[in-house]
Chains A and B, each alone.
Chain A
Amino acid sequence: MSVPRATAAVSEQWVGGPFGDSRFKYFLIAPALFIMLSIALFPLINLLVVSFQGISIIAENKSFHGILNYQRLAGDSRMWKSLLHTVGLLLVALPIELIFGMAMALLFVDKMRGRQIFVALLVLPMVIAPIVAGATWRLMFDNQFGPINQIIGWFAGRDVTIVWLADSSFVWPAILATEVWHSTPFMFIILLAGLAGVDRSQIESAQIDGASAARIFFKIILPAIRPVLAVAILIRALDLFRIFDIIWALTRGGPGTVTETISTFTFVKAFEQFDTSFAAAVAITVVLILTAVTIYALRRIEIAR
């Protein structure tokens, strides 16, 4: 933990010190803020305004409707269920992706012949257009035409006839497999880059002192990549929360609403059914919840630090 603590100390000294009240810091952040605000501010405000109106496929009613849409969503069990599914998937998929990604990053961080090729190949799942990825997995999960039942059959030693995507008890594992396949490369590359920055001399001296591999990992490596790790988890969590393409391509939220997530629900409402104001209210609610959770999570991380 020595490295981050030292960083904090110096940075305080720096901020308060001779370079503290610089206009440079605003100069650096201004262009990014300008671009983001000019593109994203109008849609955000529009979203907020629309969520208090009555725009739907039936009418473009722009009069003030108070919190009607919010009342409606509060009583919409389908929406809360979809939120629950999203959180559930996140809680399962995120640790798996993190552990796989970390294991792969540790495997590839040291020099080895052909590493460039391996790493470039392992990025490929993310480069396949999500709709193509989803449709391909759909084919692969097919009971008859797909290789997945076939491969499981080889190991099981008998014919396997699981109807992955139409059976409520198998559909989540199918989605989980697809999602882990598609997104683990993200964790892998981010963590690989993080590991590359770890100071080797510390590790080597610990090895000379006879420290175990586990001890080196938890006492030296993990603290050193901690900021990157935290951000990678945060970003991945937020993206998992918006998961859409894979589920849409595989199941469209079915069977029934078993695999509906907040994004597929919002898509159906906003894009297919033009329940515009209601969908806006859902989006605002989701953003508020996520912001609260994020602030809480970041506090916890900083306390733990």
Chain B
Amino acid sequence: MTVAVRAAPGSSASLWQARRRSLKTIARYAAAVAITVIFLFPVFWIFMMAFKTPDEIFSRPPVWLPADFNLDTFKALVRDGDLGAIWTSLITAGVSTIFAMFFGTIAAYSLARFKTGGRNLAIGILSQRMIPPIVIVFPVFLAYVFLGWIDTFHGLIILYTAFNLPYVIWMMRGYIEDIPIELEHSALVDGWSRWQVLLRVVFPMARAGLFATTVFTFIFAWNDYIFALVLTRTEVVTFPVQVTSWFGQQFVFWARIGAMSMMGTLPIFFAVIVFQRYMVRGISLGAVKG
């Protein structure tokens, strides 16, 4: 609390306190930087692939920084239309996330507050997340051939929505259970409709959880490979399918993989920065009461 320090600059106690505080701050930053460096090192290694020459990738001892940072690979990605895969993934993952978040959150509210279907329904919902995706790819493929949904946007969007719902429902149920129930109760007593309570009390209160859940719902859909591989051909090529096509048995286009990974992480990186303020602090109980 800087205020306190300013109020009594002369006292030795507060000086000691201030020093302690600033030491603590320094320690916090040191820890934050150390963790970030460790976690980002592999990301750095991937990104550098975009610039490294093949000789630099396979060099003894390893080369950390490429000699030349040219943008040729990025230009090639643009020219060959490979960046379209990022757009495709943003659409399929983005739209499915919106659906999954909305339907999943209201379902979670139902489970959290009304105990709908008891424990069995909740576990039943979760069991979908226990199946290795690989074994249901083929039946899903058969159904999609029948429906004519192969190689379509809506096919993937509906699939990702369905397969992310258990995650959203369970996660949001947890966050909603964290919210003290008294607020909703008193709002209902005050004559608010149930939808009003849901949209104007529950959603804002749970927004930190909504944000965190949204991030991973999006990432799960974004990272799917096996469904996208089997259920699409040429019209809907998602990011992982595109990137994977650069891994051959006898060769790897590391430059493209690095450049594409860089381009692909950018939108998500900025989205997390922008929307993070929703997570900074959910409205605390005290604030609402006050």
Contacts and interface: CB of A to CB of B under 8 A. Distances in A.
Given A136-B45, A145-B57, A271 B134 contact: yes
A36 B58 CA distance: 46
A294 B125 CA distance: 12
B187 to A, nearest CB: 12
- Please indicate which of the listed interface residues B162, B167, B270 has the most CB atoms of chain A within 10 Å of its own CB: B162
Contacts of B205: 197
Interface stretch (A63-71, A168-176, A280-288): A280-288
Contact of B181 (A11, A36, A196): A11
A89 interface: no
Interface in A254-305: 262-263, 266-267, 270-271, 276, 279-280, 282-283, 286-287, 290-291, 294-295, 298
A116 interface: yes
SS class, residues of chain A in contact with chain B: helix
Contacts of B113: 11, 14-15, 25
Given A132-B261, A194-B178, A238-B129, A186 B216 contact: yes
A201 B130 contact: no
A43 B136 contact: yes
A129 B264 contact: yes
Contact of A201 (B107, B111, B127, B286): B286
Contacts of A147: 41, 45, 62, 64
SS class, residues of chain B in contact with chain A: helix
Interface in B231-288: 239-240, 243-244, 247, 252, 257, 261, 264-265, 268-270, 272-273, 276-277, 279-282, 284-286
B201 interface: no
Nearest to A26: B116
Interface stretch (B3-11, B12-20, B30-38, B72-80): B30-38
Nearest to B117: A29
A24 B197 CA distance: 12
Contacts, number: 326
A228 interface: yes
B123 A294 contact: yes
Interface string A225-252: 1011111101100110110110000000
Interface string A84-97: 00000000000000
Interface residues of B, number: 115
Interface in A206-227: 224-225, 227
A129 B239 contact: yes
B91 interface: no
B61 interface: yes
Given A46-B139, A199-B284, A128 B43 contact: yes
A124 B40 contact: yes
A263 B222 CA distance: 20
26 contacts: A7-B181, A10-B182, A11-B115, A15-B114, A24-B194, A29-B110, A29-B111, A31-B107, A39-B140, A42-B143, A47-B136, A108-B32, A118-B36, A129-B225, A129-B243, A131-B240, A181-B42, A190-B212, A193-B208, A196-B281, A200-B286, A241-B130, A263-B132, A266-B135, A282-B135, A283-B132
Interface of B: 25, 28-29, 31-32, 35-36, 39-43, 45-46, 49, 57-62, 64, 99, 103-104, 106-107, 109-111, 113-117, 119, 123, 125-140, 142-143, 158-159, 161-163, 165-167, 169-171, 173-175, 177-182, 185, 188, 194, 205-206, 208-209, 211-213, 215-216, 219, 222-223, 225, 239-240, 243-244, 247, 252, 257, 261, 264-265, 268-270, 272-273, 276-277, 279-282, 284-286
Interface of A: 3-4, 6-7, 10-11, 14-15, 19, 22, 24-26, 28-29, 31-33, 35-36, 38-40, 42-44, 46-47, 50, 104, 107-108, 111-112, 115-133, 135-137, 139-140, 144-147, 150, 181, 184-186, 189-190, 192-194, 196-201, 224-225, 227-232, 234-235, 238-239, 241-242, 244-245, 262-263, 266-267, 270-271, 276, 279-280, 282-283, 286-287, 290-291, 294-295, 298
